[in-house]
Amino acid sequence: MSSQGFSVRYFLATIGTSNLAMGVHKVLYPWLVVGVLHESPSRLGLATMALLLPNLLFILPGGIVADRRHRGSWLSFLYLLFLMPLGVLLAAVVYGQLTFTLLLIFGVSFGTILAFVQPARESLLGYAPAEVMHQAVAKMMVVQFVAQGIGFIIAGQLDYISLPQLLGLQMLIFLASSLLMKRCYPLPEKDSVEEAAQAEQSNKSAAQTWLELREGLSLFRNNRSLLHLLFIVFATGFLAFGVYLVGMPLIARELYNGGASLYGILQVVFSLGIISTNFGVMNRVKTFGRPGRLMVISFLLRGSLVGVIATVPPLWLLFPVVFIWGMASGLSMTLGRTILHNQVSHSLRSRAASVYQLCLFGGAPLGAWVCGVTIENLGLGTAFVAIASTTLLVSVVTALRSPLWHISGHIDPAKETAKAQG
């Protein structure tokens, strides 16, 4: 796809507004489960799984659909779709009909839309040159998590701002995101060769769709380094992301007897860690020499910090621990996406991004459910120690046996593909 008409400024603005709404959502949704409906840890895990499970079903088709369509118009439409589940949730709150079943339905609906948004949005990063890809990813990450941090702060005011007001604010922000995306990458006024090609692609048969899906999957099958990248990303989703989604609200509620405000503060501190790491990456002129090695080390560090939290440190120590946890997570996210984008061609980038996101968010719902059940049966501290020990084991095996440990940051995609296939 041509980059003609693409505006980086409006792209970053869209990333900012959409993630402001997502920041509110990330605090509000789990807190509705444990803080408003007072459900158990296992039910929190189930609700989180309902939100993330649609990725297993729709993120790969989402990548194919995004590669066939004009991404600006498609993303603008998807941001408008978020208004539907939020509107239903708002009506349920206003009329006193909020139930756990309704939250599950909301989670599935919201997660389904998100599964189509992610690969289309990720593919727009492909316009950055390979030698500065790490900076482009870092800039997006900084905007994303600054906006999410503001959203965390807003959602943390649930004791002072009514729930209907927060939901209404989310709807307005997604509407603004839709309008900004139209400005970010508008449809050409006149018919073009690209539009004709996209129209032809939209009429492809189911057999051709399956062929395109296999083509995206073959990228990882034929390249062991990319395949092992998926392994560590899945482990991140299952262990690190699962404990973050389920463990963080329970840390606030059960370990420190806090409310939505403490949970929001922890989310802000975590986001500040991600932002600080990516500010450093933005100012780094050269790409990383061994990005895979750093990714494994950051994975190990996050597991170790979960073990520290299991000891229930005082609040003055908890905040820096969560901050460093965020730093390690931010580095890992940037490294993984940099490796991916530098080795995949434009024509396959949405499909490759969808496979990558599938592994991350495919492991997360299962990890969230396992984490919730483990906490309910063994207690929060014991569950965190078990997760930290498993992370250590996976890190050691990856360092000793995986080609990801030795992957170079200076890779020519064409040469790497030819070498893998030869």
Q: What is the pLDDT of residues 71-82, one digit of tens each?
A: 778 888 999 999
Asked if residue 309 is part of any domain, the answer here is: yes
pLDDT at 416 over 50: no
pLDDT tens digits for range 12-44? 889 999 999 999 998 899 989 988 888 888 898
Beta-carbon contacts of 392 under 8 Å, excluding residues fewer than 6 positions away, are 300, 303, 304
Q: Is residue 417 very low, low, confident or very high in pLDDT (cuts 50, 70, 90)?
A: very low
**pLDDT at position 193:** 45
Task: State the first-to-last Cα distance of the chain, in angstroms, to the nearest integer.
Answer: 28
Mapped onto helix, strand or coil, the DSSP state of residue 186 is coil
**pLDDT at position 131:** 56
Q: Output the six-digit token pair for 18.
A: 């959409």
**pLDDT at position 339:** 75
Give the domain CATH number at 176: 1.20.1250.20
User: Is residue 354 within 8 Å of residue 119, measured between CB atoms?
Assistant: yes
pLDDT tens digits for range 277-319? 878 777 765 666 677 788 889 889 988 998 999 888 998 999 9
Average pLDDT score, the chain: 80
Task: Provide DSSP, 170-193.
Answer: HHHHHHHHHHHHHHHSPPPSS--H
User: Is residue 146 within 8 Å of residue 275, measured between CB atoms?
Assistant: yes
Asked if residue 101 is part of any domain, the answer here is: yes
**pLDDT at position 207:** 56
The better pLDDT of the pair 19, 57 is held by 19
Asked if residue 210 is part of any domain, the answer here is: no
**Average pLDDT in the 377-388 region?**
89
Largest CA distance in the chain: 63
Asked if residue 191 is part of any domain, the answer here is: no
Asked if residue 189 is part of any domain, the answer here is: no
Asked if residue 1 is part of any domain, the answer here is: no
How many structural domains are present in the chain?
Answer: 1
**pLDDT at position 415:** 42
- Cα separation, 268 vs 110, in Å, equals 23
Percentage of residues in the chain having pLDDT higher than 90: 22
**pLDDT at position 185:** 67
**pLDDT at position 189:** 55
pLDDT tens digits for range 168-191? 999 999 999 999 988 876 666 554
Most confident option among 34-38, 105-109, 251-255, 368-372: 105-109
- Cα separation, 46 vs 218, in Å, equals 32
**Average pLDDT in the 321-343 region?**
83
**pLDDT at position 4:** 53
Asked if residue 313 is part of any domain, the answer here is: yes
Asked if residue 205 is part of any domain, the answer here is: no
Q: Which domain range does residue 404 map to?
A: 8-184+215-421
**pLDDT at position 418:** 43
**pLDDT at position 204:** 52
The better pLDDT of the pair 392, 139 is held by 392
**pLDDT at position 199:** 44
**pLDDT at position 200:** 46
Q: Output the six-digit token pair for 165.
A: 């007001």
